[in-house]
Structure 1
Amino acid sequence: MKKSFKILKNLFSFFIILIMLFTLSACKSNKSEKQKKINVFLDTTDKYSSNVIKFLIEDFKSANPDVEIKLNDVLGNKSDIMESINLGTEIDVIFTNRNTLIELSKKGVISDMKSVYEKEAIGDRYYDIVGSYGRVGDKYYGIGVVPYSIELLYNKVNLEKLKIANPNNLEQWLDVLKQIHNKGIKTPIALTEDVDANGLMFSLIASKVVNIHELEESYDSGEESYKKIKTMQETFKKFNLLTKGSGISKESFELGNEQSIISFNNGDAALLACISYYNSKLNGTNIGIIGDYDNNSNYGSNMPIIINSLVCMPINAKNGDNANAFIKYIYSDEVQARIVQKGIISGNKIANNKITGIGKIMVGHMYKANDNSILALYNLPDKIKSNVLITLKRILTGGYNSKEWEELLKESYK
């Protein structure tokens, strides 16, 4: 009897130990499972950036099958980001635009990523513009995903038929634009969805006139503060002189797309304005590209560069180590090289080394770009930005009155 009781006692102890080991194992498993999650908030309406981001996420998942990535695509709704952060929703990585990045940084909800910049040598391995877009004041709150230089091109055969000389710089390209406009020929504009022909012309002027840091420091600071930036009115003045003096109008342009690139390659258009994203679609020896954008600039070589998505991290990220590993991975030279293999120009210097042809000139534009290459529109809150675009349309119809900046500020803050 005693022997049976002892056996039962030993069995009971054995089962207790098994249960404890199972519980401990389950706890470790749960802990491990929690550590292998990344919650990504995708806040971008730019289809080009979205394509690149989703490629980066899939590439990371292929190399890290044990990490679960939860993707929350909010289609650019800033209020959802703030609401999610305020509610304590688990967000580890945010992809968003510069306007939202500035607002989130001012509200103190995203982290300074200086340590990431230094540890991953972003400043050495990437063009300065990639960091410029993510910097607010003296802190780095984000890293640009993929830069798009705005490129001005011409078709040599088409211009030869029109008996117009090939342009060599920005001013000459604009002069050709005027000539073909007078012949009733339109120029396709294939940029990002948030930049139209007016935004292009305004950006080309503003990058050479307005100190981008003044706009950033005054971000949504009120009517009186913005009035002190006199160069904004000078930009409207130059926009009026350029369009009125040359006859350039909204009729000079047409909305372009990938088909426009093909038509341009075939010689169906004399000029083209597009982003470097289309580099792989541009082919043929008859295509020329403007390399000189430095004319009459107060701020050096500042070819306008678009970066519509930046990666940043909230200060309360639940899976910070995993998020850092994700960021380290997608900004590695190897992954960036795979972006280039897809025909997209990267912000990574090493990955772009093998790019040839006119793409090499585009790379040169990114290499020379500085802080003032950030589009002025991206350093303005939405309410001012929308009024700037409305004002540009009015100027094109002959409505210039030399008080545009003052009037649109009053409208924006009424």
Structure 2
Amino acid sequence: MKKAFLYTALIISISIILSSCKGGIDGKDKEVTIKFSTFLEEGAEADAYKEIIGMFEESHKNIKINLMATANGYDAALDGALKGGKGPDIMGLQRTKMIDYINKGYIKDISEWIDTAGLKDKYYGVSLGYGKYDGKYYGIGDLPYTVEWYYNKKVFKNAGIDEPKNMDELLDACKKLKRYVRYPIIIGAKDAWSADIAFGAISVQTINTEKLAKAYGSGEKAEFENLNGAEDALDIFYDLVRAGAISSKVEDIDYAQSVNEFVNGRAAIFPMGSWASKKIEDVMPKGFDYGVFESPIEFVSSPESKISATAVHVITVNKKSAHPKETMEFLNFLFSEEAQKVLAKKNGISGFKSVNSSSDDEIKGRILEHLDMTDENSTMYVDDISNEMMEATKSGILKIINKDMEPKEAYDLIINQAFTK
């Protein structure tokens, strides 16, 4: 009886062992599903992700990628999932949201992986900087755009003006342009994000954006009060207003109207993100000839960064992913040259430098040159501030535009308004 019992127990044990090892014996790994969430629900970028996932799954039969793309209520849903310990393995985030999640311990530090994969030499500075915080890398921004100085070529030719390269040349050009257009520089100041992007083209040269990000992450008013370079940027903006380069009428102009003023010849210079090229092309009248300045305007002699840029969407990894090995396998593929060729084809530009072919189109060619000029300090002002600070910055800018405040007063207003409970 004892032997029979032992044999039975042994057979059961062996069955359990064989059952648990079946995948290895058959040469098949257990199928794993990786959850990848993004707020990019539609458009070229979403289509690119779907194609890239299909390519990955074809060569990784044991790994399935569940793409969860939604725009409405995205942040709130993600907050709840992460708080409950059930967040997705991979998350596409805006930069400030990434910083929030880093401070809550949700995001994995992938600095070592970035070094091992040799990605620092392959990606634009802004793509790397967009996922960097407090000296560590937590993600890579995969949709890079620059802030460009669009200009009306016909107006410049009629005024006998060359592209300005520094503050003095810009002020001189705007004095001449006032005789030809209503707005030497047009800003859609009615929209806070649009006003702040124009301001950010200046502030990126005077404010260290890593310190700006740390100030945001701290949530402390004192960090902004002690932030070097902010008042310097407002001083420069003030000088442009005082010279008549920026009219008080822009207070009532939103982003869409600013594009219309530009393409219809009432504005000579239009500082805006490179995504505006499509909007300009869609609404411009036949024969409208425009370009972007070959060199970003140099506002200070030793800029923190030469050019303002963004990467829109940073890919991050959940620190508590249930499948860390498979998650990093997909990340390796997503940021490979093969996958990024798909993104470049669909979106027009990728953060992976070598997949962006040179273009005969002058504007796209210059945008690519400017992306190459970005560094990890190039992230836009609006990428490193709260919504409250964005609205407050607009308020301060409008006070300067309407000549109601000096730069120091305007910065005090910005800080106090942003931190009003």
Q: 2:95 aligns with which of 93, 98, 102?
A: 98
1:192-245 residue CA offsets vs partner (Å, 9 max, x unmatched): x9731x223311221121122322222234222321125322322322222232
Stretches of structure 2 lacking an aligned partner (at least 5 in a row): 1-7, 282-286
The equivalent residue for 1:378 is 383
- Supply the distance in 2 between the matched residues of 1:86 and 1:346 (Cα, whole angstroms): 32
The equivalent residue for 2:235 is 237
Q: 2:415 aligns with which of 403, 409, 413?
A: 409
The equivalent residue for 1:395 is 400
- Supply the distance in 2 between the matched residues of 1:201 and 1:96 (Cα, whole angstroms): 23
Distance verdict in 2 for CA 1:75–1:188, change over 3 Å: farther
- Supply the distance in 2 between the matched residues of 1:168 and 1:387 (Cα, whole angstroms): 30
Contact between 2:36 and 2:68, CA under 8 Å: does it hold in 1?
yes
The equivalent residue for 1:157 is 154
The equivalent residue for 1:9 is none
Distance verdict in 2 for CA 1:54–1:27, change over 3 Å: farther
Secondary structure, counterpart of 1:39 in structure 2: strand
- Supply the distance in 2 between the matched residues of 1:36 and 1:119 (Cα, whole angstroms): 25
Stretches of structure 1 lacking an aligned partner (at least 5 in a row): 1-12
Secondary structure, counterpart of 1:56 in structure 2: helix
Q: TM-score, normalised on structure 1? A: 0.78
- Supply the distance in 2 between the matched residues of 1:280 and 1:386 (Cα, whole angstroms): 26
Distance verdict in 2 for CA 1:54–1:313, change over 3 Å: farther
Secondary structure, counterpart of 1:233 in structure 2: helix
Secondary structure, counterpart of 2:107 in structure 1: coil
Contact between 1:278 and 1:344, CA under 8 Å: does it hold in 2?
no
Pairwise CA distance, 1:110: 0.4
Distance verdict in 2 for CA 1:290–1:250, change over 3 Å: same
Secondary structure, counterpart of 2:182 in structure 1: coil
Q: 1:303 aligns with which of 299, 302, 307?
A: 307
Pairwise CA distance, 1:167: 1.8
The amino acid of 2:36's aligned partner reads V
Pairwise CA distance, 1:248: 0.8
The equivalent residue for 1:60 is 53
The equivalent residue for 2:334 is 330
Pairwise CA distance, 1:93: 0.5
Contact between 2:35 and 2:68, CA under 8 Å: does it hold in 1?
yes
Q: 1:292 aligns with which of 292, 295, 313?
A: 295
Contact between 2:389 and 2:415, CA under 8 Å: does it hold in 1?
yes
Contact between 2:44 and 2:347, CA under 8 Å: does it hold in 1?
no
Secondary structure, counterpart of 2:243 in structure 1: helix
- Supply the distance in 2 between the matched residues of 1:260 and 1:167 (Cα, whole angstroms): 22
The amino acid of 1:304's aligned partner reads S
- Supply the distance in 2 between the matched residues of 1:287 and 1:129 (Cα, whole angstroms): 26
Contact between 1:158 and 1:268, CA under 8 Å: does it hold in 2?
no
Pairwise CA distance, 1:106: 1.2
- Supply the distance in 2 between the matched residues of 1:120 and 1:246 (Cα, whole angstroms): 50
The equivalent residue for 2:80 is 83
- Supply the distance in 2 between the matched residues of 1:164 and 1:254 (Cα, whole angstroms): 29
Distance verdict in 2 for CA 1:373–1:279, change over 3 Å: same
Secondary structure, counterpart of 2:295 in structure 1: coil
Q: What is the RMSD of the two structures over their aligned residues, measured on CA atoms?
A: 3.9
Contact between 1:302 and 1:372, CA under 8 Å: does it hold in 2?
no
Pairwise CA distance, 1:328: 1.7
The amino acid of 2:202's aligned partner reads I
Contact between 1:304 and 1:375, CA under 8 Å: does it hold in 2?
yes
Contact between 1:38 and 1:68, CA under 8 Å: does it hold in 2?
yes
Contact between 1:384 and 1:409, CA under 8 Å: does it hold in 2?
yes
- Supply the distance in 1 between the matched residues of 2:229 and 2:266 (Cα, whole angstroms): 39
